[in-house]
Amino acid sequence: MAYLGRQPIVGNYQVLDALTATTTDTYALTKGGVAVFPQTPANCIVSLNGVIQAPYDSYTISGSNIVFASALTGSDSIDFITVLGDVLNVGTVSDGTIGLAKLSATGTPSASTYLRGDNTWGAVSVGDNTPSFRVTMSTNPSFANETWTKAPFNTVDWDTDSAFDNTTNYRFTVPSGEAGKYCFICKGGIDNLDVGEFIATAYYINGTIDNHSYNTVWVAKTTNGFGYVNNVFVKELSVGDYVEVYFQHNEGASQNLNSSYTFFGGFKLSGV
Mean pLDDT by 10 residues, the chain (272 residues): 50 86 94 90 93 95 94 93 73 69 75 78 74 97 94 97 97 96 95 88 97 90 83 97 96 92 95 65
DSSP string, the chain: ---SSSPPPP---EEPPP----S-SEEE-EETTEE---S-GGGEEEEETTEEPPBTTTEEEETTEEEESS---TT--EEEEEE---TT---SPPTT---GGG---BS---TTEEE-TTSBEEEPP-----SEEEEE-SS--EE-TT--EE----EEEEETTS-EETTTT-EEEPPTT--EEEEEEEEEEEEEEPTT-EEEEEEEETTEE-TT--EEEE--S-SSEEEEEEEEEEEEE-TT-EEEEEEEE-SSS-EEB-GGG-EEEEEEPTT-
- pLDDT for 125 equals 62
Which architecture does CATH list for 132-268? Sandwich (2.60)
User: Is the distance from CB of 49 to CB of 80 less than 8 angstroms?
Assistant: no
Cβ neighbours, 10 Å, residue 198: 17
Query: Measured on CA atoms in the order 160, 165, 171, 176, is the torsion positive or negative?
Result: negative
Per-domain boundaries in the chain? 14-83, 132-268
Gap between the Cα atoms of 227 and 24, Å rounded: 104
Gap between the Cα atoms of 20 and 27, Å rounded: 9
Q: 27 — phi, psi (to 5°)?
A: -140, 140
- pLDDT for 7 equals 46
User: Is the distance from CB of 132 to CB of 142 less than 8 angstroms?
Assistant: no
